[in-house]
């Protein structure tokens, strides 16, 4: 009888301990490893951004550029061809119309023709910093040119008010580290600025977005200004855009 009562007492004590662990403490319910902490209003904005031009895959564009760096300012014309998410080519001309450089990526390798020589490196994680001064990846550049906002890997998402200017969608990674901020117009909730942060927590670059225009059921950015914290970088003004059914694989590689 004593043993039976002791057994019941142990059982009740175990249930009590488990209950205390589950339902008390400063943290309350614990989030599962890898589960994202996304505020409802942030989820709504993320879903809205994810749907923008979601069916667009192949396109070509033509426009003007201004490239500002410590050595000065150059400008000219440029054309590009893209297949989302990672195939890209741009031919850049100087102010006189002569070829300045060509950059291409086939999804595996990033090529650049600089001073008559072709350089090649793995495209994963490689950025355009050496060429335009800001560390924009191939996938992010394609996303912006296609009228979309690239979303960096995140663990937390929240929204804060930016006064009369609108809202800010804030994305954070591990250890509460900022990874991206997306500034949205108050009335339209369209993006007007994107700030990308480096692993160290400092600003890697920001993109100021100009007015949008619509074509064939899609919406694109008329101007994109990629800048570092010194206001150096690349500004693109889109003049013409073509939606195409296919693009040859050969244009996304450079050969001597």
The pTM of the full predicted model, rounded to 2 decimals, is 0.85
Long-range CB contacts (within 8 A, 24+) of 223-228: 224/144, 224/145, 226/132, 226/134, 226/136, 227/134, 228/133, 228/134, 228/203, 228/204
pLDDT of residue 133: 87
In a 3-state reduction of DSSP, which class is residue 234? strand
Mean pLDDT confidence for 188-208: 96
Q: Are residue 5 and residue 127 in the same domain, yes or no? A: no
Here the CATH number for the domain that contains residue 227 is 2.50.20.10
Q: Are residue 1 and residue 110 in the same domain, yes or no? A: no
Closest CA to 60 of 32, 86, 35, 88: 88
Q: Are residue 138 and residue 41 in the same domain, yes or no? A: yes
Alpha helices, DSSP H only, in the chain?
Answer: 2-23, 40-51, 129-132, 138-145
**β-strand 37-38 against 156-161: which pairing, if any?**
parallel
* Domain span including residue 16: 1-30
The percent of residues in the chain predicted with pLDDT above 90, rounded, is 74
Q: Are residue 47 and residue 25 in the same domain, yes or no? A: no
Q: Are residue 4 and residue 114 in the same domain, yes or no? A: no
Find the length of the chain.
256
Q: Are residue 4 and residue 41 in the same domain, yes or no? A: no
pLDDT of residue 155: 96
pLDDT in tens, 89-119: 999 999 999 998 999 999 999 999 987 899 9
Mean pLDDT confidence for 197-206: 94
147 confidence band (pLDDT: 50, 70, 90): very high
pLDDT in tens, 47-90: 999 999 999 999 999 999 999 988 889 999 999 999 999 999 99
**Angstrom distance (rounded) from CA 158 to CA 174:** 14
Q: Are residue 49 and residue 154 in the same domain, yes or no? A: yes
Mean pLDDT confidence for 139-144: 97
């Amino acid at each position: 009888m004593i043993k039976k009562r002791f057994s019941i007492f142990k059982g009740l004590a175990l249930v009590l301990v488990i209950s205390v662990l589950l339902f008390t403490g400063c943290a309350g319910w614990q989030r599962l490893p890898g589960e994202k902490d996304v505020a409802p209003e942030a989820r709504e904005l993320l879903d809205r951004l994810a749907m923008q031009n979601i069916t667009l895959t192949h396109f070509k564009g033509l426009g003007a550029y201004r490239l500002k760096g410590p050595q000065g300012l150059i400008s000219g014309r440029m054309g590009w061809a893209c297949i989302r998410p990672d195939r890209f080519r741009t031919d850049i001309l100087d102010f006189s119309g002569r070829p300045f450089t060509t950059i291409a990526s086939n999804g595996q390798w990033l090529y650049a023709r600089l001073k008559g020589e072709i350089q090649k490196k793995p495209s994963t994680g490689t950025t355009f910093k050496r060429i335009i001064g800001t560390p924009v990846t191939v996938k992010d550049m394609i996303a912006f040119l296609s009228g979309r906002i690239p979303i960096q890997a995140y663990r937390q998402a929240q929204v804060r008010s930016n006064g009369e200017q609108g809202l800010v969608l804030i994305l954070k990674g591990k250890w509460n580290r900022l990874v991206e901020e997306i500034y949205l117009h108050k009335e339209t909730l369209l993006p007007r600025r994107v700030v990308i942060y480096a692993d160290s927590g400092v600003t890697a670059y920001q993109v100021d977005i100009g007015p949008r225009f619509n074509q064939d059921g899609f919406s694109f950015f008329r101007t994109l200004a990629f800048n570092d914290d010194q206001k150096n970088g690349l500004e693109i003004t889109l003049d013409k855009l073509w939606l195409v059914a296919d693009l040859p694989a050969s244009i996304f590689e450079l050969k001597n």
